[in-house]
Structure 1
């Protein structure tokens, strides 16, 4: 049985509530989230990744290193769940 993860997104002044009905995230979902955020944010002059992409890249790299196909949502912190939730729900943030 899948449990429901509820969290609040605090990326903007308004508070968004999202719900993800997953207890694990597949590596393809992490990659999808990375692509979602990369498409919405341009790297700075130093080519550094934005915070959202950096969080996802760390998890993605660890999954590749460990040859893991998925990761449990309970092992991820709230910030990372927020970032994944926005990407997987394809929510557009207001300008």
Structure 2
């Protein structure tokens, strides 16, 4: 029974680690974790902003506030993300 670093991540049955495959798996895990964190932060911020008295259901104004808050949050996140990625690309080009 193999475990830890000796496990077969590559699925080839040879027992050898495939660094490229491992890197891709790590990238996917990081992307999922980032998406979960984004969703959690957006939910927390919009809930605090829009829900005055939690109850059994949302009234129309709360629903509208949450929808607009989430749209604005995603727009802001996308703007910051594009600017950050653009800056990273410029800095990599200057290396």
With structure 1 as the length reference, what TM-score do the two structures score? Answer: 0.26
- Kindly indicate whether structure 1 or structure 2 has the higher relative contact order, using CA contacts under 8 Å at least 6 residues apart: 1
| Bigger Cα Rg | 2
Determine which structure has the larger strand proportion and give its number: 1
With structure 2 as the length reference, what TM-score do the two structures score? Answer: 0.26
Determine which structure has the larger helix proportion and give its number: 2
